[in-house]
Structure 1
Amino acid sequence: MSLLTEEIRALVGTSVVYTAPEPLGRAAIRYFALAVGDDNPVYTDDDAAREAGYDGVVAPPTLVCETNQYAGLPRDADGYAGHGWGIELPGTRQVRGGNAYVFHRPVRPGDVITATWTLAAADERTTSAGQDMLILTSRAEYTNQDGEPLVSNEETIIYVAVTP
């Protein structure tokens, strides 16, 4: 059974863009830091941030990668509130293969974040147990209102055929 369908091949190279409806606020930065349990004062105190070499308060690095935090994306059937490609492959289980982040510059209060997601590749392989699998690679580029790069993210999602 081939998991790499013509419909999926046609999606490779497709991009979607999400732009926040307003600038990132200091409260959102503080709440995100609290939610992830990071009490680094550079996220809440201008003086501490300046002592660390910043112009003022900065956001925790991963805030920008949580597109649903600022783009208002709805949750899917699995409860995921981020970008998905809408690929459903009956007879498979989905496994997150991981993310590789490159952080280019800090996110600051007042930044308007844009996320551009591109489905970069779709490859078919076979597991060591002989199961078919489809490996999708997405790339996300996050920029601020001036087009300056904030973060690059390469994400891998794997669909593995479930044997009866």
Structure 2
Amino acid sequence: MQTLEQRFEEFVGQQAEPPRVARYPVDAAMIRNWAEAHDDGNPVYVDPEAARATGRDGVVCPPAMVSTWVMSGYRRWREVHRLRAEGIVEDCAYSRLLALLDEHGFTSVVATDVEQDYHRELTPGDHVTAHFTIESISPVKRTGLGDGCFITLRKSYENQRGELFVEERFRLLRFNPDTAQEAR
């Protein structure tokens, strides 16, 4: 494990992957769909008059929706898994880290927590880009799911003018499911 943990240092601080650029600009229809799907009755998300009554120019995007604009979708997921099945690792730090962890049996993942700091609101017409950095990787720890390490990704979301909307720390546990019994 010591050798594996020493390798973690080469990934910390690296750009995790190329920036993710939203396929579509923020729009009122998708905001409404999100608000309805989450049963969120905040009128500033769906009613331009209510939003203007609060000093805004119009409707705004729910803050927790920020990551949905840059999600790459199922087609991207299938492509990554096809490449992995062929033994191909994408040339980005995060893919190389995951391949290294796979080699050592850390093949399962669970999201553990997320922290977000909001700097400004997203509004229709904004075009979101997300930048990802590998902020930290913990030493291997024994958890209830098995031995694993916590990876923290630092994400920053900005608009087409480079204005920062949200800073996020997303933590996940990459673990070896074969060690779960030992952990118990």
Fold conserved between structures, TM > 0.5? yes
Give the unaligned 5+ runs of structure 1: 78-83
**Alpha-carbon distance in 2 for matches of 1:152, 1:43:** 21
Counterpart in the other structure of 2:132: 117
Between Structure 1 and Structure 2, how many residues are aligned?
Answer: 155
TM-score (norm 2): 0.71
Q: 1:52 aligns with which of 51, 54, 62?
A: 54
Matched to 1:100, the amino acid is E
Moved over 6 A (4+): none
SS in structure 1 opposite 2:138? strand
2:94 aligned to which of 85, 89, 102: 85
1:42 matched to which residue of 2? 44
Report the CA distance shift for 1:122/1:128 in structure 2 as closer, same or farther (over 3 A): closer
Q: Which amino acid aligns with 2:27?
A: G
C-alpha distance in 2 between matches for 1:95 and 1:110: 33
Aligned match of 2:12 = 12
Deviation string for 1:81-122 (max 9, x for gaps)? xxx933153434423220001111110000011110111111
- Find the partner of 1:101 among 94, 99, 116: 116
- Give the stretch that moved more between structures: 17-26 or 87-96: 87-96
Aligned-pair identity (%):
32
Unaligned runs of 5+ in 2: 82-92
Flag the 1:126–1:22 CA change in 2: closer, same or farther, 3 A. closer
1:135–1:113 Cα change, 3 Å: same
Displacement, 1:128? 7.3
> Which residue identity is paired with 2:58?
G
Question: Larger % of helix: which?
Answer: 2
Question: Would you say 1:144 and 2:153 are equivalent positions?
Answer: no
The alpha carbon displacement at 1:9 in A equals: 3.7
